């Protein structure tokens, strides 16, 4: 099966909209932090990730990545099967409320 890698960058104080897989096909995702610090919310539980750390998001579980740090965040998302087009909400970056 194919793996798909996505590079992402979030500036200070940004987040992705929460998303959840729409179809029943299982999609495993692995988030890996290249630089900076991330807050990853997985099914309502938050955890901090630093440079060179990663975490798996199980299939069909809502998740959201936030950059609450004072530096930019660079990360990779590896998905299997590909995860584009299977979200309830689009992957639009928006500013976090103050």
Pick from 68, 69, 16: which is nearest to 29 by CA?
16
**Do residues 42 and 28 lie in contact, with contact meaning Cβ atoms separated by under 8 Å?**
no
Going from the N-terminus, what domains does the chain have, and what CATH number goes with each? Answer: 4-82 (2.60.120.10)
How confident is the model over 32-71, as pLDDT tens digits?
A: 999 999 998 888 899 999 999 999 988 888 888 888 888 8
- This model's pTM is above 0.85: no
pLDDT for 1: 61
Most confident of 19-33, 40-54, 80-94: 40-54
Q: What is the Cα–Cα distance from 43 to 34, expressed in whole angstroms?
A: 23
């Amino acid at each position: 099966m194919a793996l798909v890698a996505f590079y992402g960058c979030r500036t200070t104080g940004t987040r992705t909209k929460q998303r959840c897989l729409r179809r029943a096909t299982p999609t495993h995702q692995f988030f890996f932090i290249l630089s900076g610090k991330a807050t990853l919310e997985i099914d309502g539980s938050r955890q901090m990730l630093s440079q060179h750390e990663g975490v798996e998001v199980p299939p069909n579980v809502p998740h959201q990545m936030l950059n609450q740090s004072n530096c930019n965040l660079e990360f990779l998302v590896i998905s299997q099967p590909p995860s584009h087009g299977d979200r309830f909400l689009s992957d639009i970056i928006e500013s976090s409320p103050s």
